[in-house]
Amino acid sequence: MNISFLDDRGSLINFYEVLDIPLTAEKASIRTSFCALIKLFHPDASGIDSEEQRRRAHLIIRAYKVLSDVSLRTEYDRLLAAARKQDRPTFAVIPDRKSTRLNSSHEWIAR
């Protein structure tokens, strides 16, 4: 499975922040958060079909794939730890679970 850990700008995505879970989250917590977020942001589930919704849903799916797979999560955690040691910023848009879209500043706007 070839999943990029980087965003379009080359910054490491913080998948834990994407799913709004702690670094110590177990598989059940990861799945619970994924299910709740995908219901809010996937165009088929939310009924809102916009570019922002599709991008957000894709990011949530990527985060889930990485954090729910033991080997991918191990590799990702190693890279995240190295980035933190070097004080390199990580990127994630953390949604308020009541939000539905991004504004021009890439902040989530509440319904």
pLDDT by residue (tens digit) across 4-62? Answer: 888 877 888 899 999 999 999 999 999 999 999 988 887 777 677 778 888 888 999 99
pLDDT in tens, 64-97: 999 999 999 999 999 999 888 887 666 555 444 4
Cβ pair 101, 48 in contact under 8 A:
yes
d(CA 46, CA 49): 8
CA atoms within 13 A on the CB side of 36: 15
pTM > 0.95: no
Task: Give the pair of three-digit tokens for residue 67.
Answer: 């954090």
Question: What local confidence, expressed as pLDDT, does residue 1 receive?
Answer: 60
